[in-house]
Amino acid sequence: MVNWSSPEVIAANAVSFDKFVHVLLGVYIWEWFTSLNFDLTFVTGERKFKWPMFFYFYGRYAMLGGLIGFVIVLDSTKEIACQAAYTTLQVLGNTALGVASINLAIRTSAVWGKKNYVRIPMLVLLLGQFGIILRSVFNAESVWVEGMGCVTSNVQSKVFAAMYIYTMAFDFLILLLTAYKLWFANRSQHRSRIVRLLFQDGLVYFVVAFVGNLIAVIFSLLDLNPVMNLIADIPATTFATIVSGRVVRRLSDYLHGGPEVYTTSSRTRATTANTPATTKGVRVEMTTFTDNPDPQVPVRDNKVPEDVEAGMLVGQDYKHHAY
């Protein structure tokens, strides 16, 4: 039987934790570097920056900064303010986890056409999530030990468990709302590629984030020792951030190439013609058909479907032209 509280075991766990963080940093830098061209399109003006992209960039670079900071702290041979460093790193990492949920919630809000009865409860739940996140940044206590560096001396594991359980529940609710609106509410209609993309990406994000968060919850509740309480937290946040970023980029790349348009109306379907990109955005030409006593006669409607604004998620502009 392993005595998880023995100094020898804790020291061995600390070595494993150190190596694990270095591996995660390598994985994340590879992910960041291979997708850097996407970020640069906002610098060059190829894509227009809009406010929802703030959460994408914040999560992406907060996670990068947090991992680099962890490696610097773990590799430090000179005495540093360990508690201040750990608190800062917890702020970066834990808020990156919350921002990953925000990226998913923004998509869901757009899918529902910004309905207040969906948006307001989601906003309240997000505030609750960030309330727990802000509490969790003060959970870990770290001190400098000569010859060992920064050592985690105490962790309030139940607060971490609450943060991950809340995040899992919120992400599941967001997935259900998205699935219902995209997949079940209009199940009699043709499901366009963008509908499948939104649903499948949301499902992949949820599965990856759920598994990572579940492992973190298990280790937190086991409360083996301060190091083991934290060992699953960083990978959970890292992979949730990676998948969240990929979801945002996939949607942006799809829309940037000329999108179909999904409309929230259960009685309306929009189809697109060729959509050449312009310097100011993507021009969508569409004919909208609504229910009509004579199904042979299409009814033209110049109203822009509410979910055209889904392009706002990735900083895209749209011009509507009915013909």
Segment 178-222, tens digit of pLDDT: 888 877 655 545 456 777 777 788 888 989 999 999 999 999 999
**Digit-coded pLDDT (tens) for 67-97:** 999 999 999 989 999 999 999 999 999 999 9
- Using the CB atoms, write b or e for 264-283: b if 16+ within 10 Å: bbeebbbeeeebeeeeebbb
Between residues 295 and 229, which one has the greater pLDDT? 229
pLDDT digits (tens, 9 = 90+) for 15-26: 899 999 999 999
pLDDT on residue 192: 66
Sequence ranges of the domains in the chain? 7-256, 268-322
Give this prediction's pTM. Answer: 0.78
Alpha carbons 131 and 129: distance in angstroms, whole number: 5
Domain at 7-256, CATH from 3.40.50.2000, 3.30.70.1350, 1.20.1070.10, 3.10.20.30:
1.20.1070.10
Do residues 53 and 42 make contact, with C-beta atoms less than 8 angstroms apart? yes
R_g over Cα of the chain: 23
In tens, the pLDDT along 27-73 reads 999 999 999 999 999 999 999 999 999 999 999 999 999 999 999 99
Of 264 and 242, the structure prediction assigns the larger pLDDT to 242
User: What is the tens place of the pLDDT at every residue in 123-134?
Assistant: 999 999 999 999
Q: Which residues contact 40 (CB under 8 A, 6 or more apart)?
A: none
The tokens for 156 are 């309030």
pLDDT per residue over 286-321, tens digit each?
333 334 444 444 433 333 333 334 444 443 433 333
CA distances from 124 to 37, 52, 112, 121, 159 (A): 35, 18, 17, 5, 20
Q: With contact defined as beta carbons under 8 Å apart, do 151 and 143 qualify? A: yes
Q: What's the whole-number mean pLDDT along residues 228-233?
A: 89
The whole-number pLDDT of residue 56 equals 96
Beta strands 281-290; 268-272: pairing state: antiparallel
113-117, 224-228, 283-287: which is most confident: 224-228
Query: In this predicted structure, what is the pLDDT of residue 186?
Result: 59
Kindly indicate the confidence band of residue 112, based on its pLDDT and cuts at 50, 70 and 90: confident
Task: State which amino acid sits at residue 105.
Answer: A
The closest alpha carbon to 97, from 258, 210, 183, belongs to 210
